[in-house]
Amino acid sequence: MSYLLFVWTPTGYQLREREGEPPKPGDRVELDEKQLEITKLGVSPLPGDDRVCAFAQG
């Protein structure tokens, strides 16, 4: 199982593919040695993709 992680960076937004169960809002995930908080879950922005997209803020 995989999900998408939507992350803000100083150079723009990034969409990362992650393995495993998607985190829940309020959970914290580590990405590039930074702790990010999941703010919401939504649908993938990619056409025809049925995976969950977790939106992160750090």
pLDDT of residue 58: 78
Q: Whole-prediction pTM value?
A: 0.89
Domain limits, the chain: 2-57
pLDDT tens column, 27-55: 999 998 999 999 999 999 999 999 999 99
Average pLDDT, the chain: 95
- Percentage, residues of the chain above pLDDT 90: 86
DSSP string for residues in 35-49: EEEEEEEEE-SSTT-
pLDDT at 22 over 90: yes
